[in-house]
Structure 1
Amino acid sequence: MGFLLLLLLAITFIPPDPARSQQCSGGPTSLILQFADVGADQWIPAHQRAPGSLDPLYDLVQSYLDIVQQNPLPTELLRDALNDPPSANTSQILQYQAGYIICATIAIIYFVAMPLIGLSICCCQRNRRCGGRVKAYRRSLLCQRNLLMLSLLLTTLVILVGVICAFAANQKVKEEMEPGARDTVNTLQALRHHVSGISRGVQLALEQFAVPKEQIIRDLNNVSWNVGSTIHLVRKGSVYSAINDMKSRVQDLQNSLHHLQIIKKTAQRLTQYQDELESTLREQKQNIISILEDSRCSYCDSALSRAQGLELGVNYYKLPSVERVLRNLHGLPKANFSEMIQQANHSFNIFPERVAVKMANVVQDLKKEMEKAMKKVQSIADSFPILDHTHPIYDVLVKAENISHTYFKEAKRYEKYRWITGVVACTVVLLIVICNILGLSFGTYGLTVREDPSDYESRGEAGAKMLITGVCFSFLFSWLLILLVFVTFFIGGNVQTLLCKHWANQEIYKFIDTPGNLPPSMNITQRLGLKKNLNITTAYQQCKNGAGLWEVLQLKDTYSLSDQLSVPKYTAEFQKRLDDFNLTFEDILLNADGKKDLQTFKESGVDGIDYAGFQAEIRNPVVRTSIEGLALDLERLSKVQSDRTVVDQLAKESQMLLNIQNTTVDVMKELVENLKESVYFLSTIAPNLQTQINDMETKVRFVESTLPIDVHKIVRKELACFVRKEVGYVSLYLNWLRHVLTGDVASCQPLSTALDNGRVILCDRIVDPWNAFWFSLGCCTFFLIPSIIFAIKTTKHLRPIRHRLISTGSEETYPFHIPRVTSLKL
């Protein structure tokens, strides 16, 4: 709260500032310059509360306070209090504080009732034990006793959790108080450094023109090589694409010859194997069928159908011929493509050396222009207006900083007393919790070891006494606890609901902006010199978004930053230097022999081969039935025959089939795979062969015909781009300078950051744990009521039960309690 008052006091006396920033326009995105962080040491770091384990408790307390205080910001009440304090209406105050009044009523009732009830119990039980004892044993006592002890235990655990939270919140307030005071002072110091550093920041920002100047000079020293390399880079796509296409077509020619020869040789070998296999299969088929149809062959009908399919499934004589295509491609390639490609690359790659000769004069002219621009930039410091408005602001911030030291010193001393009081209160509650826990522990153990309910047990009696002790402490200190809870609740709750809540949603700023809410002497908008169409809320939002003082203050009309930072003012002469520069490129890529070879390849008929016929025949199986499967069937049949001759015949035929599979069929399958690979390659390139060769020829003709003309245009264009690049460095610096002057060196964002920091320090880091403390302690205080009730009732069950005689008409008979007789030795 003190920080807010000091900050408002400081900004109230800030005089008008005659400068206004403009929106920065970025330079070319491809250009990068590293400028010094001018004004970076003056920025105020934004504070935020670090996430912690108490955050859910903070949210719960804020929800509770929203229920207690549901009224909006009392604008009328605050307006009356600020403009005419005696006219403040008491009924309005009571109406606004209705929720707190209800809580105060509850606290008063508690404050009065608890001591009176405790005094009454003490008077009633003065001549007997507090809580008495159970008069007679009943079966229902066990359930009643357990229910009371469980209720007391749960209530004690709730109080324990509450007191732990209270301890933690009390310590959190202590831990945040000193850093909060230190951060507040640091924020004021940062604001003062920001204001005092504007003049020095302007000078440092102007000196940063050396960065683009040095970069431009380095570029000028390398311009000849860079321009030539750029031309090479721009045109190498079309040139290298034509050369690569030419390489690819030559490679296709060589690969096609290779695969065509493989197809021819493979087809010849397959027809040879086919003739041999056909005769062998015919003979084997007849032998196997005759054996299987023999009446001596048992169970042979199942294999007969497979044996009848023992014949060729292909006819490799149907494979299309490639002889004509091979004749057309015989003797190719005739041209020396390797030498042609090497010569084309060499002619194109010497561009950087050919460009470097004619750039010296342009480089010298541009260097002279940079010296002139440097002097123009330095003259900005002489007319910068905002420097005249920093001294009054600086004086106000120094006073606010001095006052804050005294204020926070006193706050630290009172915080020590508050912390001690909180620790004592929490310790008292913790003592009551310990009494309850010890009472339950001793009492439970005493009941466990007691065999007769009437027996006296010291542990049970000790447990009862501990519970009564806790009750006494509860009555003794509860009225002090409720007093502490209400005082801290009233202070922290009002700070949260009246200040922090409306500070966070900017209702306070809107209240200040509303005409008539503040006295004329407190017209902050006028004192700050804000633009007529701006108010505190809008200015705060703009400052938070990174606006400069020029965007919120009425300073633009006295000084035009746009005119001072106009790019043409510093770069006009960069456009006049490069009209007479030219280069030519007249070499060819593909000679007549090379063109003739590729034309022959295109017309060879590779794309006319019947690849579908190849694939249709290749897909067929070599043998219609599985030779290995038939051999296995014959082998199995041989094992179940009774006739020895049939057994031998079946075994022999099975072995012969396996030999055919291994020696002929597998070899043919391997040849088919080789044939399939070559056919696949040729069928892949064949559909696009004409188009690819035509595209390659088109690219070569395009490069050879347009390159001499295009080089001239590209040279002129790239040199113009070079000039624009150097102008872009100047533009990038001027945009950066505009951003620094309006956003860093003379920015109003530190002011919005300081306001946000004040809210975080006061509300998030101090008020939240403060409110969490009274909320936790208040829960403990109110739960003392059920704790007292359950403790008093439980003590009766921890003491020995007095037995008495029950009427004989009862369903149960209770024995008299006969005291133990102890023999005495005389």
Structure 2
Amino acid sequence: MGEVAATVEPLAAVKSKSLRSRKRRQRRRRQIAYLAICGLSVAIFGFALATLIRPTTAQDNDAPGSWRKGYVGHGTTHEQLGQPHWPPVEYTAYRPTTNYSKAPPPPTSAMNPIFNFTHFLYDKILYREEPIPEGYIVVKNSDTLSLGPKVEENDWRDLLAHYWLALIWVFILVLLIIIIPFIAVCYCCFCCCRRCRQGCPPCTSKQDAQRRFCCGICLLILIIGLIFGIIIAFVTNKMIDSGFAETSETMKRGSEDTCTYLKDVSDHVYHLMMNNYEEMETHVLDQLTHAHRHIFLDLSDTSESNSLAEMERVLENMPEALELMRQVEKMEKDLRFYGSQLRDGVRGIKRDVNFAVANLCQLQMCQKFLISSNIEHIDSSQCLHFDNLPNTKEFVEGMETIVANKYYAIPQRGLERLKKVSDKVKTQLSFVVPPMMRDLTKGRTIFREQATNVRNIVEGVLSDIHIKTLHSTKSFEDVYDRYGHDRNVVSLIVCLLILLVLFILIFALLCGCFGRRRTGYGDECCSKSTGATCLLLAILLIFCVFSIIALVGLFYFMLGMVTYQGACAPLRDQENNTIFRQLDASIDLNHFLPASESTKEMMQPLKMSSAIKACRANQTIFDMMRQHKIYDINDLTRIKVMTHAQENTDSIKVFDEDLSTVVLLTQEERDELNAARDSKLAKYHSSLYLPSLCTQFTPMNLNALSEQLYKLSNDLEYPAYGWAKVSFWNEGLNTKAFYRNFVPKLTSLVEKMKANLKKIDELISYENNDFTNTIKILTATAINSEQFIQKRGKDYINTLGSNLTQSIDQMIDDYIDMIIKEANESVGHCAPLSYIYYRGVDLICHRIVDPINGFWVGILLCALLFLPILFVAHRLMCLYKKIYPYLATVGAAGVVEGGSDYLYDAYSERDREHVPLANVPKKRRKAYERRREQQDYFEDASPSVSRGNRSGGDRGGGGGDGAPGSSSMRYNDMAPTHWDHEPPRYHNPPAAPPSSEYERPPPYYYPGASEQD
């Protein structure tokens, strides 16, 4: 068993290994298959990419960028600067000169809440989906509204039945109009105006004051409402008159503005289709006329044959450069001469200063000066050493040789040969340009016809819209014809009646508030009694005029409702309103278009509602015409101005001459240029002179050095260092003299030489190279240009010619796109047309109908306010009629002489203030006491006692309590036994002299009025 087990184990191991190897092989096969699929995909992608890239590569080989190394496009310099190869057209913008008439100031905005209230009333409360019943508004000539026969007959039954809420309102007003006169008769017949309960005024004075205050406030509020109503009535009445009066003026302004708008649209269209086309035509013709020159210059630029022109410039400038070089040669000699003298002079100064320091002045200051002044290097400046200057004479000889050999003729002959290429280009283009010019001329005629067509259509559309608008502004003219003459008089009378009532109420309220209370005896003018009389007058006047005012307001209410539903409501619901559908006149455009049967068959009439919607959206006139298929400005894209555009432009060959024989420089001329390049002028460049041409001839300033020498000489003591002192002083003089004599001359020579050398570089150098490299570069460039013209010149010229035709086509397309964009965005905005239309609507609705509705609001508001005013005025009149005679306030415990009780002061009522007698000012109290001492004061005020009895009775008696002169008599009750409803009469005592002045009465008790009055 052990052997069997041992045999089975190796078999299992072998089997597992074979299984793993099989899985490994399967995995490897899957990997190989995956890699094969990936490789095949890459191969297919590479093949497709190569297929796509191959044409692109071919195009790149022929691309304009390959015309010149390092340049894109056609290889021209101006393209590298960002300038287009063929410059685009610059169009002048249209500048409108329209000046629309200024609209009159809008109606006062203070009435807008009233108008909005009437709109809310008609649109929300009295709104009905069905139109106004027939017979109230009629349409004349399909575009004008007028009042119908039922309005003339005052037949309002159908209208009130249609608007049942209005029926309720009218019923209430009619009921009030009928009832108020009967109430007025009852009020007057039963003497209600005089039946006012008096009560006990002293007892109810506080309550009466409160009632007067409350009723006065209520009347004031009602008066304010009345003022508000009368203001509304006056303003809206004025607006109605202005609305009727401005009809003709508004129509005139509308006509003028429409003509202005038409002229602006026509001028704008003419500017786009004629003026801008002429600008484009002029630009294109100029390019075609000078196309040969443009192509030749681009050929010269790309082939770099401009090097011949540069070479000509260099060689032709040689005589001028020769003169400058001769001046440089002379200045060089002077520079060397003066420079050597200055160099020798400063060397002598250095030698003498060193000798003086070494032998004559051995002080530390002298040694320090020698070190600090840097005088040891005074002659070491490079500007004083001219050994490195080039030999100018050789340059002069080289220039003379070039001028003598007339090398400037070599590039001139090359340019003449190049000009022959230009002549060939001009000859070939002369066969291509004239047809293009003819096409442009024909295009002008095409666009002129388009401009005329568009102007006729626009003028027809706008003229019809304006005519319909003007007719609609004549709506409701019969309102003015029927009511205009008498309406103003009636309205003015009603307003004046309300104003009269208002003034009477205001005057009555002022008298009641600020006038004296009624005393029943001697009442003044503006007292409360006057206020009561005015209130009675106002009540009677209100009873008289209420029915008239309410009737006028009711008439305006009915008229305003009819006109609003006829004029303003259709604008609110245009599509569903029967009246507006009747007014939605059609505009026949066929008679404005050219005679074309096909066009007439396709043309549909334009509805006024469509024009209004377009104007609301502020579209342009071209948008509106395109939406209604009247005229589509986008059809201009179908116009083909250039006939060659219909052909294959690639097959057009502008140039077909052989340029392989063109020679710019012959071999002999090349040899001559090489000889000129290797002449004595070969190494010339201004940089050879510049290192030695500087102005710092000494390390230090010689003037400053001379001052230092003077200072050193002055610092030395005379006897001991006299020779050194003199030596330093002399060297200072020499230093200043050398500076003055040589430095300015040398500086001037250096500056002049620099200027001449710079000018010479500009004359005979190319790209700041020396003369050898200049001639070498220009010669090599000319040879390369010759090879370019021979090999690729023909293809390049044809490419530019094809680009010219494409550019012209693109300019024309851009012009048409510009017209379309400008027409769709800027030409003929409907805002002025909408303004003209809505100004006509404003004349009808906002300036006539709204004021009519505002007028009845003001009139009926005043009429309804009269009702509470009647009640409040009657209550206030009774309060003002109460009589308040003189009173005496009696204390609870009686009055003690000399006490401080408050007594009623009769003068206090006159002076409108209550001042206790005990608290009067001191001066008044003393005067009162003196007057009491001088005369007797009798207090018996009974009407049964005569003056004789009062003056003679008990005069001989003593001074008892009952005596007239006793002090206890003034405390007796002086009230009469009966009262005759009159104030007590007071008389002076017999001893007192007669006086007309009203004397101060004694205190008394007044029982008040009875209930009989």
- TM normalised by structure 2 equals 0.41
Larger radius of gyration: 2
Structure in which a larger fraction of residues adopt helix: 1
- TM normalised by structure 1 equals 0.49
Larger RCO (CA within 8 A; separation ≥ 6): 1
